[in-house]
Structure 1
């Protein structure tokens, strides 16, 4: 059953226990041994479910060894240094940076789907860590205490200030945005020298669903919260449970008992209805269906509101028209929409993706904003902002000048292939994609499964550094979850893992992305598509048997009409073996992306010959689009 059901049971069990025992009610103010008072809408975790009725379910605080309460936002934990019950605000400090004079922020501050929002007392600052290039803006000074042993430098800017364009940021290992209080940073010099002290003093969040509890507290009661009915209750010291005030609800013992009986009956009815819903609609399927909102524009607005102030900017549609010069330059078109070239006010080029109004009921929009806004990696495309006005849904990405990978690996008969890349460059691209996927699977606060890895969704910048794009089919897996349940197959024919289109092979997981990566790696090696998108059906003449046979026979690898130099053959052979390991039929037989990176970077002698893959993707008609983003 759902957590709300157990919470309701705990509430009414507590009511009866309190009524008959005449003991002090729960929900009295408490602390963790310091000056921070914990009371409604917050509550102290004690290892039982009793305290959960004393505030919002998401506002449980645990005590730390340092005496500060701890609030968890998604997977990150923060010390609570102050709670202002008058202004409805809470001050938080990242556990990893408190009292550190030169802290290294690990993660973007992300609130998640809880009733909190950033305060107007905050300002956002962005760190660019371990950069091999430097900003072109005048006066940019590196952080001295964060220069690493390789001479790479780190920088920090207030969000919204001139950083000299975005090109130089591609050389950085990570980009992290955090919040600090406005008054702690007074100038750029203060930011460079005082960001550590500012981060140690934290940032402020407002709770935005707070209901005034003053009337209950003035009547000598303690507030509680009915999460099912979403209403505040007042627990009196004599054991009565009332709506607002203990003074107004005075009555005899029988009257109070009748209220308790009525409340218990209501709880039983609610529990019965929840049981019917559970067994009728199947809770796992319900969770899968609503893992992302799917009801259109209202769900998108709810998603944006619940996520508070995102680290990316929301633009007006008039701004989008201006930056694209009224959509003058079209870069490409795919299943989810059309991509145009644009330019921001600071001169940075961007790719503006206009989503089809009728496609996905807003789901792909939420997928991309929810997933890419959590990422910061050199091999993952950067999302600058978005626009949502009525039926208009727009995503604004960094502009990637060399387009998608498919342009550089596929050969057509009778067509000059002057744009094809060297094997060393293709090998570096393969490693970069692997590192990007490893980051999505392990480096983010929330594990991100892409489910549409293919050459069309790999973009190459001016240095041919690969960037994973198009997160319209992505799934988010909170915490350490890896296996997920899906009600529909997703991806592109030729790259879909067997378990995604046939549940007999197991559940979809991060290993599904590994399979897609392996098929793409064999695409690179073979120099031709593993599906015939110009025909009516997929062509599986050479996938995967064609390459496997060449590997067994020791003949030259690579495309049939291409020439591979002796010194390059080892790189091609390594990519081939790794690709064949990745497309093993059973998910557990495939390596993780971390292992893939290790194999690509290691010696070919340390990689065993993989078994012959039993099958590839299903054969069916397909019309694949030339998606850019």
Structure 2
């Protein structure tokens, strides 16, 4: 599907890039090897695999230098006498490889035919059925009977090689979503570069392929086709669906046989396999099923990482079969069984289904892995054992398609469109939306209001884009990796696994091409004026500290902005300290661990205040913004409200209050308490400490007695009166000193006057010392009694 190569820039610039460079990107994928096999592959395939300045890597192969297994058939690269890496592509001919990146190969097409009129050539290029897919933007060619005024935001031209007035025709290139209503009546669309099915062709496709294409309650849509009801062009070969006498949509898949279609969604097809062979022992059958080489693939999710441990809260389950010499205790979170159809008790062999990433160290020595299975279900909110039994009973699974048409249809669905097939261009394309005509005064007024709102929103988005791009231009080369929106979709598997929702947008789990798990925050364009984005990149984009979340990359493309962070498997501190009120919770932390976490947070804040070239004030220190890694080490996150200032400046000018209620320093509300400075973060840290040791909110309206509503005052009174602090957690006898120390440090930090609060360096010194070294602070607030 043709998409513009550099989305944020104007169409005019993109056209110039295309005319002068003729560059195209192509999808690629890769896999890793380990151990001896990895070393053998490197020796055979990478030792002599360089041409000019280009390293040729799998799935591509440098011919005459490497064995055939070093690459995929059709991806052979030759090295010219001039030292240029050349690959020959169907419909494109010999192409010079410019560079490889994570997802694409940038090439330059050669030949006079392309040089004469690249846009015309590109619009007629079709790679359907090949292993390649063009990766550039949609556009359409528009022919007008007279010259028109252009707009660099959506239309440019005229294009000399297509029509510049010599024949009474002027041809322009426009964005695909541009309405023809924006052009004079003498303009018509004449060609689309991998874009939408429009006009008569669209209506013909709907009539031929969608009018009689329903079986039971299932609508059969391209790239699938209902046989005996629609022409052959309505679907891709191998995706034919038949309708049974019972009204079931049936598709026959290799190695699976006839399958009943349960539902379609954007990313996969849910099917139910039929037949006695599957019913007898479904887990054994699934583990031996191999669809390699077909256009189908079983849905898998590679979201578990052994070095992070096991976290059933996230993602999708794959399974493995484990044979044990004796019965073992099962755990519904990760192992289920024994599986009757696979076990033989008379021979002393019991077979269980276990999470594919579960370590064998958790099982007795008499257990061995006997087979690896596929995806059996979505884990969030459901246990592994439930999913295993559910699969055995329903025989339902998801399959996706390994064909370019499926990828194009996904893109169409994300744009709110259907997909179809253009016989004129012989390729898959989106079906353009119908443009209705407004009738009646009310509809006209409503339409006008909508248009005004859209124009206003578009102008606002454009201003934010300019602001963000100006910031990135002045930021220098030290910024993290910049990803395209297409990259972000691949990293997040098209936003398949949502971790949560924050004030500025949604967070999704993802995976970088090298297998590193990440969290991707998609910022909402309607919030923050781009400030959240620039704050994050400007602050943590350049710094690296063990107690600060690392920003690995970002995306800024039109109105889309995203931030890519390292993934924290244990979520936020909030889930641990406030879960202690639930006696059944497994997330309780020991007092010693709380002290270590407090020290880590203090080190992180101290680094922000003293260790950076410019002082960074966070202004939103709270449990929700403290993330925990796999060893429960704390990392400060969410710098959307942060502010940079010179280290020799002690007073910060604020135009608006920042932070979260319950953690905001008094001077943020009223300047009578003092000036805003780095001491405001110290106050927030003190309130955080109190919540850590108490396991409750500092302002808790659910507490019955009024004298205990303001928790910090209650803590102070107990310390003065030398009474025990009754907390929501059980503590060991020798934990009392830690509790006393944390309480006194917290009360020092929440002194109402900023000048009486310690610096974070002093706070860290107190936390590392003994409780006796920390003096009792003065009362930090006016009594409420």
The TM-score normalised by the length of structure 1 is 0.50
User: Bigger relative contact order, structure 1 or 2, given CA contacts below 8 A and separation 6+?
Assistant: 1
The TM-score normalised by the length of structure 2 is 0.40
